[in-house]
Amino acid sequence: QRLAAGDLSARVGQPVARRRDEVGDLARDFDAMAERLEQLVSAQRRLLRDVSHELRSPLARLEVALELARRHGGDSAVEPLDRIGRESRRLDELIGRLLSLERMSSRGLEPERARVDLGRLLGEVVADARFEAETGGRTVSLTVERPAAVRGSPELLRSALENVVRNAVSHAPAGTSVDVAMAVAAAPTADREMALITVRDRGPGVPEAELDRLFEPFHRVSEARDRQSGGVGLGLAITRRAVEWHGGTVGAMNHPDGGLEVTLRLPLA
């Protein structure tokens, strides 16, 4: 159960592993499997971190070379140089997300906690999303039931909210609206109140079998759709890590009237 919950250090250990029967064999095999799993996951995280750090230096040099090329290039070079700049920024953003995901996967991550006004933060995120949505003929609405605050990291919370809202905007058809709402509800298993944030688009939705996997790193529901939107399957994974770090939960469902609805639940301060 500990291993299934993500504790890769879980071992059966002694004295069960010393037994000379089937239970002892099972215990030794389990410990060997757990050891191998821990090594593989640690190696994967280390690889992501190291590669991401190493890519930052050549990207910085590429930006400098790009600016020099803009100065010396003619009018015919403007369009391809702009394209290089966009792809460079996209790669830099991807590296940043990889590093954020690696830091949140590490047990050592402990950002400073502060009191965060969720309504105000959500308003800022929606204002930025509206600017982006207008270029595609979409709108973003915001409804806040009443003020609410959580205790946590403003940066992590902003990233979590931005990823969900931008994901909805990128998949919303032209001429439609993305609805963002915040309410307050009682937690199902405690007296503490929870902030309930919902983000709904009016796109094609997601196959039911894929809903539980939306928040896994690098998972893509549709290769063609995510390529068109520039997605690589990291935004929602970062959202889940950030929300769980704050003691909350995140989930997704297909709305009965069409589109995908993502719900974030965060315990109030």
Q: Tokens in use for 129?
A: 């999303």
DSSP 3-state assignment of 233?
coil
Element (H, E) at 164: helix 154-171
Query: Token match 């499997």: residue?
Result: 33
Contacts of 169 (CB under 8 A, 6+ apart): 129, 132, 133, 136, 138, 140, 178, 201
Which segments within the chain are labelled E, that is strand?
A: 114-117, 139-144, 149-152, 177-186, 193-200, 249-254, 260-267
Contact (Cβ atoms closer than 8 angstroms) between residue 253 and residue 208: no
In the chain, % helix, strand, coil (3-state, to 5) comes to: 55, 15, 30
Residue 230 to residue 224: CA distance in whole angstroms = 10
Give Cα separations from 3 to 11, 177, 256, 261 (angstroms). 8, 42, 36, 31
**Does the annotation mark 53 as catalytic?**
yes
Residue 47 to residue 191: CA distance in whole angstroms = 42
Active site residues: 53
